[in-house]
């Protein structure tokens, strides 16, 4: 089944929710592709990277966020775990992991418990190269109306991230060869897995 067919199973054709999912997915897919190409030595699965970027937020349809035209039962923070379940049902377990592991810069069991997040207490950290690429590039885009394709600057991303995610993102700026002013990456760098 194609990406479009999977999206159509859960999103009403022509709806605002579908438009947001696709526009956001394309923005993340484009940047993930661009970042991946900085690493010709990496064995990037570009087809998977594109598909998983397009589907990573599919679970938003099960959440209640009227501004995203989504009228499900769950809080938005559940969009990753809902997406994981949907894509497992669709027989896409690798894509499903991207859904669960892309929230913020990934959240560990300890992060979930310490921050009191409404999530099951288990590690939801990006592990594969493609999972990390999507989690990283997703940080640069919001789903706010009119700003779907606007790439945030690294400084803007850092400003919005919770404190426990900032060192991970600062580390990623270096690891993913982002062109950024030194001032953004000098302090408190934690090497990520
Ligand atoms: Fe996203």
- What pLDDT, on a 0 to 100 scale, did the predictor assign at position 181? 73
With the CA atoms of 180, 186, 187 and 189 taken in that order, what torsion angle do they form, in degrees rounded to the nearest 10? 80
- What pLDDT, on a 0 to 100 scale, did the predictor assign at position 1? 83
How far, in Å, from the CA of 103 to the mean position of ligand 1? 8
How far apart, in whole angstroms, are the C-alpha atoms of residue 97 and residue 99? 5
- What pLDDT, on a 0 to 100 scale, did the predictor assign at position 193? 44
Q: How distant, in Å, are the alpha carbons of 24, 104, 155 from that of 139?
A: 11, 7, 11
Q: What is the pLDDT along the chain (193 residues), one digit of tens a residue?
A: 899 999 999 999 999 999 999 999 999 999 999 999 999 999 999 999 999 999 999 999 999 999 999 999 999 999 999 999 999 999 999 999 999 999 999 999 999 999 999 999 999 999 999 999 999 999 999 998 888 999 999 999 999 999 999 999 999 999 999 987 777 766 555 544 4
How far apart, in whole angstroms, are the C-alpha atoms of residue 130 and residue 124? 15
How far, in Å, from the CA of 108 to the mean position of ligand 1? 18
Q: Ligand 1 (ion): which residues have CB within 5 A?
A: 57, 138
How far, in Å, from the CA of 48 to the mean position of ligand 1? 16
Q: Does the model's pTM come out above 0.85? A: yes
How far, in Å, from the CA of 14 to the mean position of ligand 1? 20
How far apart, in whole angstroms, are the C-alpha atoms of residue 137 and residue 122? 23
């Amino acid at each position: 089944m194609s990406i479009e067919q999977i999206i159509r199973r859960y999103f009403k054709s022509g709806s605002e929710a579908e438009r947001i999912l696709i526009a956001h997915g394309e923005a993340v897919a484009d940047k993930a592709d661009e970042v991946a190409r900085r690493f010709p030595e990496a064995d990037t699965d570009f087809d998977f990277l594109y598909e998983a970027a397009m589907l990573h937020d599919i679970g938003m349809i099960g959440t209640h966020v009227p501004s995203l035209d989504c009228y499900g039962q769950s809080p938005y923070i559940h969009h990753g775990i809902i997406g994981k379940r949907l894509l497992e049902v669709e027989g896409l377990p690798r894509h499903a992991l991207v859904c669960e592991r892309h929230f913020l810069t990934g959240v560990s069991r300890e992060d979930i418990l310490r921050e009191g997040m409404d999530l099951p207490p288990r590690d939801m950290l990006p592990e594969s190269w493609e999972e990390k690429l999507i989690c990283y590039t997703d940080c640069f885009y919001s789903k706010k109306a009119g700003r779907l394709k606007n790439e945030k600057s690294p400084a803007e991303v850092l400003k919005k991230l919770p404190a426990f995610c900032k060192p991970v993102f600062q580390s990623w700026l270096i690891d993913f060869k982002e062109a950024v002013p030194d001032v953004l990456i000098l302090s408190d760098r934690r090497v990520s897995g």
